[in-house]
Amino acid sequence: MNIANKLTLLRIILIPVMIFFLLNKMMLLALVVFAVASFTDFLDGHLARKLNLITNFGKFMDPLADKLLVMSALICFVELGKISSWIVIIIISRELIVSIFRAIAAAEGVVISAGWWGKSKTISQMIMIIVILMNNFPFSLVSFPMDTILIGVATILTIISGYDYIARNKQVLK
């Protein structure tokens, strides 16, 4: 197993640690774990491309690890009353639809890579989660609802990226 795939597995292993800290309201520790896990997302992709370590395992597990990390944090936020459940339902629905779409493509021997909208969606979700974990700091000092704005941006990008993903790859359904 190469270093990029090991980083992807590390991200998955960090998820229950983050959940533990979140549900026990240890937000700073949850933030650190989430930030480290998010950084492994950047790092594994960078190393895979730079060192030519791209594998089918990585193509499948990297986006799955991202989805598990983000969805875990969002579900915990619903439990903690930090985000509305309907937002999380939209985000999880998009992820399930895209995952099913990818599975159909894979069955046909087609590997679909993430597009610009999907990458923007992931980045916006990760920034949103970090701001929520920071309890909207430093924006809370001036009563600016950056967390609410980022929730809206992430939700809109989630919808757009889902539509874009299907529109760009609709031939898979034929």
What CATH number does residue 26 fall under? 1.20.120.1760
Residue of higher predicted confidence among 171 and 150:
150
pLDDT tens for each residue of 39-57: 998 899 889 889 998 888 8
- d(Cα 137, Cα 57) in Å, to the nearest integer? 38
pLDDT at 108 over 90: no
- d(Cα 157, Cα 120) in Å, to the nearest integer? 7
Specify the pTM. Answer: 0.89
Residue of higher predicted confidence among 170 and 71:
71
In terms of residue numbers, what domain contains 154? 3-173
pLDDT at 114 over 80: no
- d(Cα 22, Cα 107) in Å, to the nearest integer? 37
pLDDT tens for each residue of 15-40: 999 999 999 999 999 999 999 999 99
What is the domain count for the chain?
1
Instruction: Compute the 3-state secondary structure of the chain and give helix, strand, coil in percent, each to the nearest 5.
Output: 80, 0, 20
Share of the chain above pLDDT 70, in %: 100
